[in-house]
Amino acid sequence: MSENDNLRWLDHLPVGWAQLYRDLLSDLAAAGITVCVDEVKEKFGSLRVHLEPRVSEARPYIGAAEERSKVTCQRCGEPGEMLMRNRIVATLCPAHGDGFSKPERPPVVTIYMKPGNISDE
C-alpha cells in the first residue's frame, strides 16, 4: 500500500479537513509508521479514521487528528466548533455555521442491548 492509496480517501472527506488528513498521513510517514487506511469519514462532527490492519502505534496520531477535527471547520479548515441543525452535527466556523446552533449537550449515542440476542453480525 502506498501513501497515494490513502490519499484517495480525500474525496470522501469534508474539504475543510483535507489538510488535517494530509497532516496525519505525513506525521505517520515521518514517524516511520506505515498504515493502510480502510475508511475515513465524518461522523457526529468529527473525523474518523479506520486502519486495516490496525496499527497500534498510529493510534495516538489518529486520536490527535480526530480531536483537531472537532475544532476545525469541515467546510474551510478555519477554527470551528461542533454545531447542530435538525439533528445534524457538524463542526463549523462562524461563517459556515449560519443557521446552526450550539448543542445543549454533546451528542449522545445510546445503544440498546437485549439480553439473549447478541450476535457478532
Give the interface with Zn ion as residue ranges (CB under 5 A). 73, 75-76, 78, 93, 96
- Minimal distance, residue 119 CB to Zn ion, in Å: 42
Amino acid at 67: E
Residue placing its CB nearer to Zn ion in the complex, 3 or 23: 23
Residue placing its CB nearer to Zn ion in the complex, 24 or 93: 93
The phi and psi torsions of 91 (rounded to 5 degrees) equal -100, 115
Angle at CA 16, nearest 5°, toward 108 and 7?
A: 100
**Helix (H/G/I), strand (E/B), else coil: 7:** helix
- Minimal distance, residue 70 CB to Zn ion, in Å: 14
Residue placing its CB nearer to Zn ion in the complex, 17 or 61: 17
- Minimal distance, residue 19 CB to Zn ion, in Å: 13
Rounded CA Rg of the chain: 16
Residue placing its CB nearer to Zn ion in the complex, 62 or 93: 93
Report the distance separating Cα 65 and Cα 27, nearest Å: 10
CB-CB neighbours of 88 under 10 Å: 10
- Minimal distance, residue 84 CB to Zn ion, in Å: 16
| Closest chain position to Zn ion (CB) | 73
Residue owning grid cell 475508511: 39
